[in-house]
């Protein structure tokens, strides 16, 4: 999976939204599939019209870092999962909370080119990850 900076640069090179959608789908194809036992209600992201699962783990470093894997049953949404993971996975909890995901998504032009349902799902993924980051910070050492 390319880093978020590379994804942003690639998006800026693509003038046509059809090409950007194809790139989104390609990013989604690069995500490893989650094992069937990970596709649980506990891992399911609420607020997404398509089915989306995020599996997170937090390391014991100080500060804690959060790592994610994700999946969706819809091609474009799977690409949105890939972008979200590129933005957040592997970062420390404070950096996750400080990240302005909306600004990144706006820079990519996602808001004006996604359906309201997909935009809501994207926000739901971000909310879930930021909630995990808050819990990681608040967890007793």
The pLDDT tens digits for 80-112 are 999 999 999 999 999 999 999 999 999 999 888
CA 101 to chain centre: 10
User: Quick check: is 48 catalytic?
Assistant: yes
pTM of the full structure: 0.95
| Helix H or strand E encompassing 55 | strand 52-58
Place of tokens 């950096």: 95
- Which tens digit of pLDDT belongs to each residue from 9-44? 999 999 899 999 999 999 999 999 999 999 999 999
Selected catalytic residue, list 27, 48, 96, 125: 48
In the chain, what are the domains? 4-138 (3.90.1010.10)
């Amino acid at each position: 999976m390319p880093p978020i900076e590379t994804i942003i640069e690639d998006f800026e090179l693509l003038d046509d939204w059809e090409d950007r959608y194809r790139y989104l789908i390609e990013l989604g194809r690069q995500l490893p599939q989650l094992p069937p036992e990970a596709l649980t209600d506990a891992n399911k992201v609420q607020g997404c019209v398509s089915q989306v699962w995020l599996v997170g783990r937090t390391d014991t470093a100080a500060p804690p870092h959060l790592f994610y894997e994700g999946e969706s049953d819809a091609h474009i949404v799977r690409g949105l999962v890939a972008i979200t993971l590129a933005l957040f996975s592997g970062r420390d909890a404070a950096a996750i909370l400080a990240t302005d995901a909306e600004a990144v998504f706006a820079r990519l032009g996602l808001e004006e080119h996604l359906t309201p349902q997909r935009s809501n799902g994207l926000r739901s993924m971000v909310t879930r990850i930021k909630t995990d980051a808050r819990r990681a910070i608040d967890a007793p050492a």
